[in-house]
Amino acid sequence: MTRIVYMGTPDFAVPALNALADDGNDLVLVVTQPDRPSGRGHHLTPTPVKKTAIGRGLPVVSPDRIKENDDLIAMFRALKPDLIVVAAYGKILPKTILDIPPRGCVNIHASLLPKYRGAAPIHRAVEAGESVTGVTLMYMSEGMDEGDIIAQKSVNVEGLNTGQVFDLLADLGAALLLENLEQIKDGTAPRIPQTAGAATYAAMIRKEEAHIDFSLSADAVVNRIRAMNPSPGAFAYLDGAAVKLREAHTGAGSDVTALHEAPGTVTAVSTAGIEIISGAGSVILDVIQLPGKKPMRIRDFLLGNKLEIGTRFS
């Protein structure tokens, strides 16, 4: 039986871990990021992968670092894994680990490589308004997401937010792994070099990017709101308070752009949504979240809140 070390951290990595375990593979170790403070009480919380591994009775470790970690390297070598499988682990593996398993290290990456290499492929694909994205199963190398491709699956994601695409690709990645696992185990899986000139990069999301700039086009604003949902959550200031903008769609824009109001200005309010001028066109806000409150549709927001035409989101 093939001995496998699995490395992953967030919810994205859980379906593939479950798929490997359900398939009867010998998971000799699960490696994940350390417990982090979360919630209002900032209590240390294990990662979704750690919770899953413990629940299945699998051995799990959470090292603080990967590079120059002699104890971890010694553990890996003692376990003698045939294969290492990685999904959203969160750190680049050093050559000392990549060289250990005879069948190599394979990674499930949430984009159609070579597009969107890097830390935030789903956020960036949604932000760019991609109608199609997918997952790539690849052999890992020392470069960031530069290894040879084993297989890919694409899916239509038009109109979806990052959270929805995240869930979709997590399941797609797990299925793709199982479809190709036997070939990986016996060393006959394809190795398709990436076209370096076609590569794009998905930089990590910075919190300040979630602040919506209504001087952008309506399409860009709506895509940014979708990209930041659920985390970190797009926001704008309304009467000095930071409110989350959870869902929106583009408006007709032809009438409101003739008003010569500043971007961010509210031009229509109804239970159907709040229309806001953007740099080109208009945005209809569908779901809003006030500080300390749960997200609510605009019809519910208007039951207890008054919003005047001419008010500005900044």
d(CA 234, CA 283): 14
Q: Are residues 233 and 186 in the same domain?
A: no
Is residue 310 one of the residues assigned to a domain? Answer: no
Contact 58, 32 (CB under 8 A): no
Residue numbers of the domain that contains 266: 209-304
With residue 125 as reference, give the H or E element that holds it: helix 121-127
CA angle 131, 134, 137 (to 5 degrees): 165
Tell me how long the chain is. 314
Residue 116 three-state SS: coil
Residue numbers in the chain where pLDDT is lower than 70: 41, 253-260
Q: What is the token pair recorded at 256?
A: 């409101």
Same domain, 14 and 142: yes
- Are 296 and 219 in a shared domain? yes
Q: Are 160 and 137 in contact (CB under 8 A)?
A: no
pLDDT of residue 38: 76
Could you say which of 202, 236, 260 is where a domain stops? 202
Q: Name the domain boundary from 202, 222, 254.
A: 202
Per-residue pLDDT, 162: 98
**CATH number for the domain that contains residue 288:** 3.10.25.10
**Of 184, 202, 220, which closes a domain?**
202
CATH number, domain with residue 173: 3.40.50.170
Q: Is residue 72 part of a domain?
A: yes
191, 226, 202, 198: which is closest to 212 by C-alpha? Answer: 226
Residue type at 53? A
Q: Both 82 and 219 in a single domain?
A: no
How many structural domains does the chain have?
A: 2
